[in-house]
Amino acid sequence: MGNKYKYGLVLSGGGTRGFAHLGAIKALEEEGIKPEIISGVSAGSIVGALYADGQGAETALKALISKNLLGLLKLIIPRTGLLKMTGFERTLKKTLKAKRFEDLEIPLLTHAVNINTVEYTQFDKGDLIQAIKASSSIPIVFPPVEIDGYQYLDGGIVNNFPVEPLVDKCDTIIGINVNPVGKEDKINNLKTIAIRSFHLSMRNHAESRKDKCHIYIEPEELEKFGILDLESAKEVFQIGYKKAKEVLKKR
């Protein structure tokens, strides 16, 4: 008996580098590859939700740019996070047709860390937008998200490349990692230190798990982009597209 799904897609975290996920998905679409289940974390949960919601790669890119996904983030007094997610939730509500996981066209698995119980938690049912917010709350940069009385942060803290839920369920697992770590010359503020520390904690997640993928895509050029760099969205999208085309051509 074969696996339940033909194609499964794993989407890593990486902030606005996640626009490269959309570029790679465009390349998959052109090859006639349509994932039937998605496991994503942080930025991967956002892109995964858009795709599972039935939106094509370029449509999703235009929607996120036009609605200014990060433009309404506000600096707050550092109590639980440096930036408030003002506008982020509003953007998701305007962009996504689905409000619950059950409303999506294809199954989506998102991941966050319960900082009360110190457990890596998978969300695959119920309120979609709260789960995406929880999965995307980078420590220190964003405050924790409360769900059912528990506080959650970005799942990338524990596993920034959640391939395990798809193992033995898919004939072909496609993994996209948008979080290569390069050299950073200017480290001169708390936000940069927080983001850099987060990157370092995640750097080996994909490396140790990429062998579980049948197709693995990692655009090295993304090293030069920050994870809150919305202005480079189109360039990042093209980098993801180009790298995916190269990988798919060789398979």
- pLDDT at residue 141 greater than cutoff 80: no
pLDDT, tens digit, for every residue of 172-211?
A: 999 999 987 655 556 667 766 766 666 666 666 677 788 9
pLDDT at 70 over 60: no
How high is the mean pLDDT of the chain? 85
pLDDT digits (tens, 9 = 90+) for 51-63: 999 999 998 888 7
Q: Which of 57-66, 143-152, 169-178, 212-221 has the lowest mean pLDDT?
A: 57-66
Model-wide pTM > 0.85: yes
pLDDT, tens digit, for every residue of 90-103? 788 888 999 999 99
Q: Could you tell me where the DSSP H helices lie in 122-189?
A: 128-135
40 or 142, greater pLDDT: 40
Higher pLDDT, 247 or 61: 247
Tell me how far CA of residue 90 lies from CA of 74, 86, 87, 96, 209, in angstroms.
14, 8, 5, 10, 34
As a whole number, mean pLDDT of residues 216-231 equals 84
Q: Is the pLDDT at 238 greater than 60, yes or no?
A: yes
Please report, to the nearest 10 degrees, the dihedral formed by the alpha carbons of residues 221, 251, 110, 226 taken in order: 0
Q: In a 3-state reduction of DSSP, which class is residue 154?
A: strand
Res 73 pLDDT > 60: no
Instruction: Cite the active site residues.
Output: 42, 154
Provide the pLDDT for residue 1: 44
Measured from the Cβ of residue 181, the count of other Cβ atoms closer than 10 Å reads 13
Q: Which residue has the higher pLDDT, 62 or 78?
A: 62
Amino acid sitting at position 67: K
Cα 99 to Cα 57, 123, 236: the distances in Å are 20, 14, 28
Q: Kindly tell me if the per-residue pLDDT of 121 is higher than 50.
A: yes
Give φ, ψ of 173 to 5 degrees: -105, 125
Helix, strand, or coil (residue 241): helix
